[in-house]
């Protein structure tokens, strides 16, 4: 079966660093995605990992360990506008389908 | 990045009526499109995979006769919610995957309210 877990909610302070974890158990693996979604809007693409290691893109970085079925999204120098839901999604082998985790609602406080 | 549009952005309909939602890829050809549903404070749930020129593949628990999907061209897929009921009220989002892209591009979503 497919199972993707993320914490439901997290809070952090403006300027801080926050790490959002995602663990997955899926039938085959062909990439892990992180999306940001503001309330009432569609998700926007943040990052893609298919090999183990860290991918850095500005204030956002994403890490993947395929052997552990684990990923995290790291957000640095948090800004108020980073308050949103962060969705972890896994693409199974041989398909373009994405299976989404429950999403993590992040609130950034001043 | 690639652009995907949805129409309408919001729709209110009466119980028992049908509603059609369009999803268009504006600057690339999408061989595959996906339809998701999202209830408040929940994540995206994949409803079906729409392939151009063939029948859609529905996820378990999604009624294919209630949620009709047509992918008539490489730039357009439609989702028709037939005989809508209040419990169908949700945020419907489409995404498109072109053959040259490894990621999916999401449309802006359609907020459906059934009264």
| Model pLDDT for residues A75-84, shown as the tens digit of each residue | 999 999 999 9
Taking the C-alpha atoms of residue B17 and residue A99, their distance in angstroms, rounded to an integer, is 30
Taking the C-alpha atoms of residue A106 and residue A98, their distance in angstroms, rounded to an integer, is 22
Please provide the average confidence, as pLDDT, over all residues in chain A.
93
B36: pLDDT strictly greater than 60? yes
Nearest chain A Cα distance for residue B11, angstroms: 14
Chain A residues in contact with B34 (beta carbon < 8 A): 96-98
Cis, bond preceding A73 (omega within 30 deg of 0): no
Beta bridge partners of B10: B111
Instruction: Please give the average per-residue pLDDT across B14-41, as a whole number.
Output: 91
Chain B residues in contact with A87 (beta carbon < 8 A): 43-44
DSSP assignment, residue B59?
Answer: P
Q: Looking at A17-21, A41-45, A86-90, which range is the least confident one?
A: A41-45
pLDDT at residue B2 in the model: 67
Tell me which chain B residue has its CA closest to the CA of residue A105: B41
Q: CA dihedral in degrees (A47, A48, A53, A54; nearest 10)? A: -10
- Return the top range by mean pLDDT from A4-13, A95-104, B1-10, B49-58: A4-13
Instruction: Please give the average per-residue pLDDT across B28-40, as a whole number.
Output: 88
Contact B65, B55 (CB under 8 A): no
- Answer yes or no: do B107 and A40 touch at CB < 8 A: no
For chains A and B, CB pairs below 8 A equal 50
Higher-confidence residue of A19 and B71: namely A19
Instruction: Please give the average per-residue pLDDT across B30-46, as a whole number.
Output: 89
pLDDT tens by residue, A31-74:
999 999 998 888 888 999 999 999 998 999 999 999 999 999 99
- Answer yes or no: do A48 and B41 touch at CB < 8 A: no
pLDDT at residue B99 in the model: 60
- Answer yes or no: do A45 and B105 touch at CB < 8 A: yes
Contact B108, B16 (CB under 8 A): no
- Answer yes or no: do B42 and A99 touch at CB < 8 A: no
B72: pLDDT strictly greater than 90? no
Taking the C-alpha atoms of residue A25 and residue A44, their distance in angstroms, rounded to an integer, is 24
- Answer yes or no: do B44 and A87 touch at CB < 8 A: yes
Instruction: Please give the average per-residue pLDDT across B2-30, as a whole number.
Output: 92
Higher-confidence residue of A66 and B3: namely A66
Interface residue ranges in chain A relative to chain B, Cβ cutoff 8 Å: 31, 33, 35, 40-45, 48, 87, 96-103, 105
- Answer yes or no: do B103 and A33 touch at CB < 8 A: yes
- Answer yes or no: do A103 and B43 touch at CB < 8 A: yes
pLDDT at residue B41 in the model: 81
CB-nearest to B43 from A45, A87, A96 is A87
pLDDT tens by residue, A52-61:
999 998 999 9
């Amino acid at each position: 079966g497919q199972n993707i877990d993320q914490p439901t909610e997290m809070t952090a302070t403006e300027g801080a660093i926050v790490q959002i974890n995602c663990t997955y158990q899926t039938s085959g693996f062909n990439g892990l995605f992180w999306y940001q979604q503001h309330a009432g809007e569609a998700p926007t693409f943040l990052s893609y990992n298919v090999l183990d290691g860290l991918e850095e893109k500005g204030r956002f970085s994403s890490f993947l360990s395929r052997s552990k079925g684990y990923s995290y999204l790291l957000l640095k120098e948090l800004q108020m506008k980073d308050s949103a839901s962060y969705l972890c999604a896994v693409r199974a082998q041989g398909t373009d389908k994405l299976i989404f985790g429950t999403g993590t609602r992040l609130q950034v406080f001043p | 990045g690639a652009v995907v549009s949805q129409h309408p952005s919001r729709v209110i309909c009466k119980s028992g009526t049908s509603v059609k939602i369009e999803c268009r890829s504006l600057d690339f050809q999408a061989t595959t499109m996906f339809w998701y549903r999202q209830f408040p404070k929940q994540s995206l749930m994949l409803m079906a995979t729409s392939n151009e020129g063939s029948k859609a593949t529905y996820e378990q628990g999604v009624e294919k006769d209630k949620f009709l999907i047509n992918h008539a061209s490489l730039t357009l897929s439609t989702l028709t919610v037939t005989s809508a009921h209040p419990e169908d009220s949700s945020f419907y989002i489409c995404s498109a995957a072109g053959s040259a892209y490894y990621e999916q591009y999401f449309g802006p979503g359609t907020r459906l309210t059934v009264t």
